[in-house]
Amino acid sequence: MSTQATSQPRQRNRRVEVGIVDRASTDKTRRVRIEFQVRHPKYGKFIKRRSYLTVHDENNVSGVGDQVQIMPCRPVSKTKQWKVVQVLAKAVGEVRLHDESPASVG
């Protein structure tokens, strides 16, 4: 009986999330909005919720409005524990940040 040792490390199934890039003002850092629905405990109605995560983007490939796939990683900084895996869809047209008012955009 001969057992072969596998030379490839065993991959863990990691949690992967999909979100929209909300802010891209800092180098290699993005803020991603993840939207999900939860069921109300008493009434049973589904309620929309969102969560904002600070994500590490090593190559600055994503921009505001892009749909990205992210996964957890080791802590890169105090708030960054996620990294961008890939950009699923680029933003189409002009993306206006929620902080900008229509009067200031010219």
Looking at residue 27, what is its pLDDT? Answer: 94
The separation between CA 60 and the C-alpha centre of its own chain, rounded to angstroms, equals: 13
Contact 30, 76 (CB under 8 A): no
| Whole-number average pLDDT of the chain | 86
- What's the average pLDDT block by block, 10 residues per block, for the chain (106 residues)? 60 84 94 97 97 95 95 95 95 67 55
Q: How far apart are CA 61 and CA 70, in angstroms?
A: 13
Residue keyed to tokens 């008012």? 101
Question: What's the confidence (pLDDT) of residue 96?
Answer: 61
- Token code pair at residue 63: 């921009």
Please say whether the beta carbons of 33 and 51 come within 8 A: yes
Q: Which fold has domain 17-89?
A: OB fold (Dihydrolipoamide Acetyltransferase, E2P) (2.40.50)
Q: Where are the domains of the chain?
A: 17-89
- The HSE-up count of residue 79 (CA atoms within 13 Å, CB side) is 8
